Amino acid sequence: METPHRISFVLRAIKDVVFEDRPIPQLRNDHEVRVHVSQTGICGSDVHYWQRGRIGDFVLNSPIILGHESSGVVVETGSKVTNLKVGDRVAIEPGVPCRRCDYCRSGSYGLCNDTIFAATPPWDGTLAKYYTVASDYCYKIPDHMDMEEAAMVEPVSVAVQICKVADLRANQTVVVFGAGPIGLLSQAVAKVSGARKVIAVDISAARLEFAKGFAADGTFLPPRAEEDVDPIAHSEKIASLIKEQFELGEGADVVLECTGAEPCIQAGINVARKGATYVQAGMGKENVVFPITTACIRALTIKGSIRYSTGCYPNAVHLVASGKVDVKKLITNRFKFEEAEKAFELVKAAQEGVFKVVIEGVQ
């Protein structure tokens, strides 16, 4: 009798994606579960691997299944699994660390060098009928939450981590650069965390309009730089305009940079008050011109944020389940599994009216 198969959406090489039949994945140990994937959101990193084949040290050297923002139903459990049973609906945390290194033991498991992370070379992702994962990296969702919301727990967790890295406190003023999915969710989590004023900055008027109805208290569309104007001087001007318009005094308490765009990074450092915290979450060009003297003189705390750490996923499940972060508003486009490539093309086009694209699982 031949092995049963599952359809998978596979990245074979740069700009080369195909549907393939793959064997049903077997549990690798007694603590794993096999999940029938229900919904998968597309992330910029998935598109990045498809178009460029690498992100930093992670390089595509062999085919991988794409996708990592997923929800599903447990269909098989290992003999030592106690937290889940067959039929449970779950949000899948896509990165399982080694649990033994110093990073893992300190709770910063997102930094573990031996993490098995879905759709990060060389590991397969979740755009397939089934996915196997450690049972404690699946989070049971309440009955009133649907599978699209459960898939959206992943980007919410990224935003929870960004605000955690920022050590965001009640009554602070927060400026967020970017009104894409992660920028919008960071604005929402900042607001839920008690921020007094959250300002969204983006070059798209349509995205800012959306941000205003989502979580931001105010929005700012930066003026274009005039010809021959020094970029740093222009970023200082933008920072001054933001401080003035939103009565931020010397500047924001917290700056969350969710674009990776050089002008936003420069404006972000300049809009921060003395002693503020600046968090870099967006990834664009690998190297940028950075206002380092300003950062020194203002005694800024500058941090990078990646993925999630202890507590982020359960917190994100709660924020979505309680309605405090309304992820449904962000889903603008839905596709069947066999339309996966079309879905990826749409995300790649980066149209300002497209926020989150989700792909239905294989039935």
CATH at 231: 3.40.50.720
Q: What's the total number of domains in the chain?
A: 2
Task: Give just the sign of the alpha carbon dihedral 246, 250, 252, 255.
Answer: positive
Pair 197, 219 in one domain: yes
Pair 92, 120 in one domain: yes
Kindly state whether residue 224 falls inside one of the protein's structural domains.
yes
Pair 123, 213 in one domain: no
pTM confidence score = 0.96
Kindly state whether residue 189 falls inside one of the protein's structural domains.
yes
**Which residue has 């917290």 as its token pair?**
254
**Rounded distance between C-alpha atoms, residue 38 and residue 111, angstroms:** 28
Q: H or E segment at 277?
A: strand 272-280
Give the count of alpha carbons within 13 A of 289, CB side only. Answer: 7
Pair 172, 137 in one domain: no
Pair 137, 195 in one domain: no
CATH number reported for the structural domain that contains residue 83 in this entry: 3.90.180.10
**Which residue has 């003035």 as its token pair?**
244
**Rounded distance between C-alpha atoms, residue 9 and residue 86, angstroms:** 25
pLDDT in tens, the chain (363 residues): 445 667 999 999 999 999 999 999 999 999 999 999 999 999 988 999 999 999 888 999 999 999 999 999 999 999 999 999 999 999 999 999 999 999 999 999 999 999 999 999 999 999 999 999 999 999 999 999 999 999 999 999 999 999 999 999 999 999 999 999 999 999 999 999 999 999 999 999 999 999 999 999 999 999 998 888 999 999 999 999 999 999 999 999 999 999 999 999 999 999 999 999 999 999 989 899 999 999 999 999 999 999 999 999 999 999 999 999 999 999 999 999 999 999 999 999 989 999 999 999 998
Helices 181-192 and 205-214, axial angle in degrees (round to 10): 30
Kindly state whether residue 232 falls inside one of the protein's structural domains.
yes
What is the extent of the structural domain holding 178? 158-304
